[in-house]
């Protein structure tokens, strides 16, 4: 069979309703990784949905216990490792997916919808996990099947799979698992799918993700609050202190004022990759504030090539029932999204030094969870041109290249621990309502994604060895 006929086979698979049926079964599994009562469903998803499909494609797979959970969380967030080895000397691809979802929020979906049942409304297919990530890995496995069958079982490359069931809980144990099984997971290239395209109409590739560093600012001046009439002007206000501390870190238009939290540079290769990239143009997108953030950068550069510092929540006093009292405590939950050119090892130190220098030694800084490191494959890497060429041949469109996703994914595990060039091909779109009620995918995007991945795996079979040698 030819490349085109294999892609046509993928189209027929989609048009027959077989893809819908496969995804419908997976959506029906209540695999909520943030719900301890659903931990058994995480195993059900692997055993009933993923392992049988991989076995039919010639994979050997096994479920692996999470290396960081304890007796209080038995069976939580399991992993699956699988491999299909044709020849140890051939190119090896590592791919990834996650079968867990966020909470269903069943009672918040609009009338007639349920998180656990696929419902069709025009081009929209509703259901929890349709976009994140059940729909995406279902597309990839189906595309791989099309190529394996077309080539009569001889891909010309090996495939390994790392599959997790705790991504929505922060990927606990993923880094440790990959470090323990580094030799088992050794490969030459990483290709996977998660997150949204730039827009529904634009096939997209991204090469990594911005990192994420969450922290709290806390001001504790005294126990309790005191009457503002009796003590106003005599007692410092924790809310006022916190507000001014934050204003010393970020100006009134969102520009970061802490030098140590800024990237060292914006690489020219990244700037060139982003020069024609529109942002915020999709349906239901909020209007972009063009005067917000780092001046002299384009909107695309601000979200994909620079750092952003945001206050996500803050509290002082009793916001729901204010009283006439001076608060003695205030707190803010903050987040830094950052690119690879940043001094991520010393963020806490830079914030502490900045606050002390500006007279805010009473403001405590607490890192709220482990940092997720930023990653980015060089846009000039040979795998990038190869992937873009494959998508262009399949779709006849110019694909969008994002040096990295604006959000965060556990790509640092694959890029830094397993030392792999990483190429992500997302199959969702920005308005998919992932993590919210009414999550959905667009049927035309899924169909095109199935074409794309079938073509990509075909091209890896035909051209992968030469691209690998070129690197």
Per-residue pLDDT at 71 exceeds 60: no
Give residue-wise pLDDT tens across range 177-188. 999 999 999 999
CATH value at residue 446: 3.40.630.10
Does residue 301 lie in a domain region? no
Question: Is the Cα torsion angle 113, 118, 122, 124 positive or negative in sign?
Answer: positive
Q: Are residues 221 and 321 in the same domain?
A: yes
* Predicted pLDDT at 369: 73
Q: Are residues 355 and 433 in the same domain?
A: no
The distance in angstroms from the start CA to the end CA of the chain is 29
- Sheet with 440-442, strands from edge to edge, namely 119-121, 124-126, 440-442
Does residue 362 lie in a domain region? yes
Number of domains in the chain: 2
Cβ count near 209 (within 10 Å): 30
Q: Are residues 17 and 164 in the same domain?
A: yes
Per-residue pLDDT at 67 exceeds 60: yes
Q: Are residues 169 and 236 in the same domain?
A: no
Mean pLDDT score of the chain? 95
Question: pTM for the complete prediction?
Answer: 0.90
Does residue 298 lie in a domain region? no
Length of the chain: 471
Enumerate residues 6+ apart whose C-beta is below 8 A from 141.
Answer: 53, 54, 57
Does residue 300 lie in a domain region? no
* Predicted pLDDT at 408: 85
Enumerate residues 6+ apart whose C-beta is below 8 A from 145.
Answer: 53, 56, 57
Burial-class residue 202 by CB neighbours within 10 Å (0-12, 13-18, 19+): middle
Domain endpoint, select from 325, 343, 367: 367
**Rounded average pLDDT over 191-220:** 96
Six token digits for residue 2 = 């030819």
Q: How far apart are CA 439 and CA 429, in angstroms?
A: 11
Give residue-wise pLDDT tens across range 429-446. 999 999 999 999 999 999
* Predicted pLDDT at 281: 76
* Predicted pLDDT at 207: 97
Six token digits for residue 197 = 């395209």
Q: Are residues 357 and 381 in the same domain?
A: no
* Predicted pLDDT at 454: 98
**Rounded average pLDDT over 227-251:** 97
Q: Are residues 225 and 312 in the same domain?
A: yes
Q: Are residues 347 and 466 in the same domain?
A: no
Does residue 28 lie in a domain region? yes
* Predicted pLDDT at 238: 98
Give residue-wise pLDDT tens across range 269-287. 999 999 989 888 776 778 8
Six token digits for residue 324 = 């006439």
Q: Are residues 326 and 423 in the same domain?
A: no
Which H, E and C letters describe the chain, residue by residue? CCHHHHHHHHHHHHHCCHHHHHHHHHHCCCCECCCHHHHHHHHHHHHHHHHHHHHHCCCEEEEECCCCCCCCCCCCCCEEEEEECCCCCCCEEEEEEECCECCCCHHHCCCCCECCECEEECCEEECCCCCCCHHHHHHHHHHHHHHHHHCCCCCCCEEEEEEECCHHHCCCCHHHHHHHCCCCCCCCEEEECCCECCECCECEEECEECEEEEEEEEEECCCCCEEHHHHCCCCCCHHHHHHHHHHHHECCCCCECCHHHCCCCCCHHHHHHHCCCCCCCCCCCCCCCCCCCCCCCCHHHHHHCCCEEEEEEEEECCCCCCCCEECCEEEEEEEEEECCCCCHHHHHHHHHHHHHHCCCCCEEEEECCCCECCEECCCCCHHHHHHHHHHHHHHCCCCEEECCECCCCCHHHHHHHCCCCEEECCCECCCCCCCCCCCEEEHHHHHHHHHHHHHHHHHHHHHHHHHHHHC
Q: How far apart are CA 450 and CA 441, in angstroms?
A: 13
Q: Which conformational region is residue 324 in: left (phi greater than 0), alpha (psi within -120 to 50 degrees), or beta?
A: beta
Give residue-wise pLDDT tens across range 17-53. 999 999 999 999 999 999 999 999 999 999 999 999 9
Per-residue pLDDT at 72 exceeds 60: no
Domain endpoint, select from 315, 348, 367: 367
3-state secondary structure of 114: strand
DSSP one-letter code for 36: G
Give residue-wise pLDDT tens across range 387-424. 999 999 999 999 999 999 998 889 999 999 999 999 99
Q: How far apart are CA 371 and CA 367, in angstroms?
A: 9
Q: How far apart are CA 410 and CA 88, in angstroms?
A: 27
CATH value at residue 324: 3.30.70.360
Q: Are residues 331 and 387 in the same domain?
A: no
Q: Are residues 414 and 397 in the same domain?
A: yes
* Predicted pLDDT at 285: 77
Q: Are residues 69 and 192 in the same domain?
A: yes
% of the chain surpassing 90 pLDDT: 92
The domain of 69 spans 3-209+374-470
Does residue 284 lie in a domain region? no
**Rounded average pLDDT over 369-397:** 95
Question: What's the pLDDT band for 163 if we cut at 50, 70, 90?
Answer: very high
Does residue 119 lie in a domain region? yes
Does residue 240 lie in a domain region? yes
Six token digits for residue 345 = 């090892």
Q: Are residues 196 and 50 in the same domain?
A: yes
Six token digits for residue 75 = 């069976």
């Amino acid at each position: 069979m030819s490349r085109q006929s294999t892609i046509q086979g993928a189209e027929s698979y989609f048009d027959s309703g077989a893809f819908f049926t496969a995804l419908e079964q997976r959506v029906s599994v209540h695999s909520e990784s943030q719900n301890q009562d659903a931990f058994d469903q995480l195993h059900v998803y692997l055993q009933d949905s993923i392992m049988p499909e991989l076995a039919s494609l010639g994979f050997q797979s096994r479920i692996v216990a999470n290396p960081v959970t304890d007796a209080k969380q038995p069976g939580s967030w399991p992993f699956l490792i699988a491999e299909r080895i044709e020849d140890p000397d051939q190119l090896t691809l590592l791919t990834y997916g996650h079968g867990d979802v966020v909470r269903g929020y069943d009672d918040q979906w609009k009338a007639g919808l349920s998180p656990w049942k696929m419902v069709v409304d025009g081009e929209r297919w509703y259901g929890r996990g349709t976009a994140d990530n059940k729909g995406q890995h279902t597309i990839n496995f189906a595309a791989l099947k099309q190529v394996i069958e077309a080539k009569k079982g001889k891909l010309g490359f090996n495939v390994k799979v790392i599959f997790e069931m705790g991504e929505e809980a922060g990927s606990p144990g993923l880094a440790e698992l990959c470090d323990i099984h580094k030799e088992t997971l050794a490969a030459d290239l990483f290709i996977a799918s998660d997150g949204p395209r730039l827009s529904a109409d634009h096939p997209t590739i991204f090469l990594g993700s911005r990192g994420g560093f969450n922290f709290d600012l806390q001001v504790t001046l005294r126990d309790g609050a005191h009457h503002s009439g009796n003590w106003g002007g005599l007692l410092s206000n924790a809310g006022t202190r916190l507000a001014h501390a934050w204003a010393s870190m970020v100006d009134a238009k969102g520009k970061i004022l802490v030098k140590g939290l800024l990237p060292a540079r914006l690489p020219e290769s990244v700037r060139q990759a982003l020069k024609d990239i529109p942002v915020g143009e999709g349906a239901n997108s909020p209007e972009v504030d063009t005067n917000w953030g780092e001046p002299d950068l384009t909107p695309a550069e601000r979200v994909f090539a620079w750092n952003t510092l945001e206050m996500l929540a803050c509290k002082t006093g009793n916001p729901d029932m204010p009283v006439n009292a001076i608060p003695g405590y205030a707190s803010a939950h903050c987040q830094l999204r950052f690119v690879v050119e940043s001094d991520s090892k010393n963020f806490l130190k830079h914030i502490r030094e900045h606050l002390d220098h500006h007279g805010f030694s009473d403001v405590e800084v607490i890192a709220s969870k482990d940092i997720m490191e930023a990653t980015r494959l060089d846009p000039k890497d040979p795998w990038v041109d190869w992937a873009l060429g494959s998508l262009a041949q399949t779709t006849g469109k110019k694909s969008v290249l994002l040096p990295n996703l604006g959000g965060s994914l556990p790509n640092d595990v694959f890029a830094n621990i397993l030392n792999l060039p990483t190429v992500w091909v997302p199959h969702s779109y920005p308005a998919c309502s992932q993590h919210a009620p009414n999550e959905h995918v667009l049927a035309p995007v899924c169909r095109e994604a199935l074409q794309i991945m079938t073509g990509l795996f075909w091209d890896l079979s035909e051209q992968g060895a030469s691209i690998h040698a070129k690197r």
